Amino acid sequence: MRKVAIIGQEGHFNYALESLAVRDDIELCAIAPGEQNGDIGSLIKQTAKYSPHIYSDYHELLQSELPDIAVINPMFCLTARITMDCLKAGAHCFSEKPLATEIGDLDMLKQCHAQSRLALCGMFGIKEEPWFIALNRAVADGEIGEVRLIHGQKSYRMGTRPEFYSHRELFGGIIPWVAIHAVDWVMSVGGRCTRVAASHSTYANRGNGDMEATSALLMDMENGAIATVTADYLRPTASARHDDDRLRVTGTRGMIEAIDGRVYLENDLPKRELELPPREIYFSRFIDAIDAGMTDELACEALAATRVCLLARESADVGARMDVCPE
């Protein structure tokens, strides 16, 4: 039985709750805030049925509980430091994206992870949605030939955002927090990004301080393909869904597009909708990868997507295209 601890409540800890509900080889041993005496009221409520031990300081949790896996989703600027503390305590880490909000912290985390020989995974759960699995498989099977052009979109309602979103040093920005999903999709289907340029704007952010409401990225891929990503908080309040995720991939033999959770392929045959596979549980995939000793790819993907987004944010700040070194 593996012991799972959750630290913080600002991200997608629900991925872990999904697995806790259906697996008998893990248990929730404890929860704690990312900041000493921080608010975890929502986390306490959502995990009550598992009766976890509740700590006010995650350091005490790590020392007392010795969890096998830490689910880390604090205020975003704290993710890298807490992940490193958990790795040093001997816990595999399932951490919110971005893995860090500053390049220096990302470099330290990368080194810490390499020395730990433990598993590290970012919370990129959208890749386990049926639409992405179907699209990714079709591209890998050569249905559109060689990938030449990719566009990913993330669009959200603004809604009511926590106060820390208004401060760049705490939130990190729309590119590392929102666009990172689409950046991850792009690199999953198109390979490594070698250079990135970006722009972002706080215009129309409805009084949310430093938080950008719009962003756009241009990515050069190692295989010569070109990718674009947009992310925004402009989705109308009356929209039926909170999010509008889209991915379009064009190759030498055809095009495939995901929109509204459906996937359409057009190649030598007329445009048609693809059948979707069952949805997979992302945290369970992480546990299975630990069991199989095959977690290196998950870590590399999370580190690479975070690096591209932090460099893209820098590009948007200074107005220069940035080279991306391999992980």
Residues 130-139: tens digit of each pLDDT: 999 999 999 9
Burial 258-271 (b: 16+ CB within 10 A, else e): beeeebebbbeeee
Report whether pLDDT(327) > 90: no
Crossing angle of the two packed helices 58-65 and 79-88, in degrees rounded to 10: 20
97-101, 125-129, 238-242, 294-298: range with lowest mean pLDDT = 238-242
Report whether pLDDT(42) > 90: yes
Nearest one of 181, 218, 180 to 198, comparing CA atoms: 218
pLDDT band at 36 (very low <50, low <70, confident <90, very high): confident
Mean pLDDT of the 99-126 span: 97
Q: Where in the chain is the domain with CATH 3.30.360.10?
A: 127-282+308-323
Question: Yes or no: is domain 127-282+308-323 CATH 3.30.1490.190?
Answer: no
Position 238 scores a pLDDT of 85
Report whether pLDDT(161) > 90: no
pTM: 0.96
Nearest one of 112, 226, 122, 239 to 177, comparing CA atoms: 122
Rg of the chain over Cα atoms, rounded to whole angstroms, equals 20
Report whether pLDDT(162) > 90: no
Report whether pLDDT(159) > 90: no
- 3 three-class SS: strand
Mean pLDDT of the 170-181 span: 96
Contact 153, 126 (CB under 8 A): no
Report whether pLDDT(178) > 90: yes
Position 217 scores a pLDDT of 98
Q: Which tens digit of pLDDT belongs to each residue from 219-245?
A: 999 999 999 999 999 999 888 888 999
Could you tell me which CATH class the domain 2-118 is placed in? alpha beta
Quick one: what percent of the chain has pLDDT higher than 90? 91
Amino acid making up residue 108: M
Q: Where in the chain is the domain with CATH 3.40.50.720?
A: 2-118
Report whether pLDDT(204) > 90: yes
CB atoms within 10 A of CB 193: 24
Report whether pLDDT(325) > 90: no
Contact 143, 267 (CB under 8 A): yes
Position 216 scores a pLDDT of 98
Mean pLDDT of the 112-116 span: 97
Angstrom distances, CA of residue 112 to CA of 83, 124, 127, 293: 9, 21, 26, 18
Report whether pLDDT(156) > 90: yes
> Residues 6 or more apart from 280 whose CB is under 8 A from it?
128, 133
